[in-house]
Structure 1
Amino acid sequence: MLNIDWRSSAAYGYAKAISAAGFAWEYLRRNDDYRHDVQTIGLTGHPSTRELEVFARRWGLRFPVRP
């Protein structure tokens, strides 16, 4: 669990200067369902392409193509 007090505006002063993608990440990483899905897919060791596609589609993620 995160240890930042989300009710404290001082803890989020940096958010005024981050990109839209950075802001989206800050929001997403606090989502309990997302965190559960990340843990689940991480426990598989080597998720299949299909599992990664489903995960990415569910959360609106795009991953760079690896050579």
Structure 2
Amino acid sequence: MVSETVWSSPQFASQFPPLDRSGFAFEFLRRNTDYRSDFAAIASQGGTVAKRDALQGLTSRWGIAFRAGS
């Protein structure tokens, strides 16, 4: 059986410092296997145009934005 972390549990609160919205979003995505797979697929893209187009799809699908130069 897969163990799931209950975000509202005292154990969770003691393991992580208080996070702002962007920090929470980062932690959520960092642990999400679907996002990690999508990001890995983009990282392996060759060529600037292909990577830019793939990154645009990632930002649309996940509702995120990357800083310029990322």
State the match for 2:68 in structure 1: 65
Please give the per-residue CA displacement for 1:1-27, whole angstroms capped at 9, x wherever unaligned.
xxxx84695465224x11111011111
Please give the per-residue CA displacement for 1:13-59, whole angstroms capped at 9, x wherever unaligned.
224x1111101111111111101011111111444322111111111
Q: Distance in 2 between matches of 1:58 and 1:26?
A: 17
State the match for 1:52 in structure 2: 55
State the match for 2:36 in structure 1: 35
Normalised by the size of structure 1, how large is the TM-score?
A: 0.66
- Higher relative contact order by CA 8 Å / sep ≥ 6: 1 or 2? 1
Q: Distance in 2 between matches of 1:38 and 1:64?
A: 15
The runs of 5 or more residues in structure 1 that have no matched partner are none
RMSD: 2.4
Q: Which has the larger radius of gyration?
A: 2
The runs of 5 or more residues in structure 2 that have no matched partner are none
SS class of match (1:48): helix
Count how many residue pairs are aligned between Structure 1 and Structure 2.
61
- Which is worse superposed, 44-53 or 32-41? 44-53
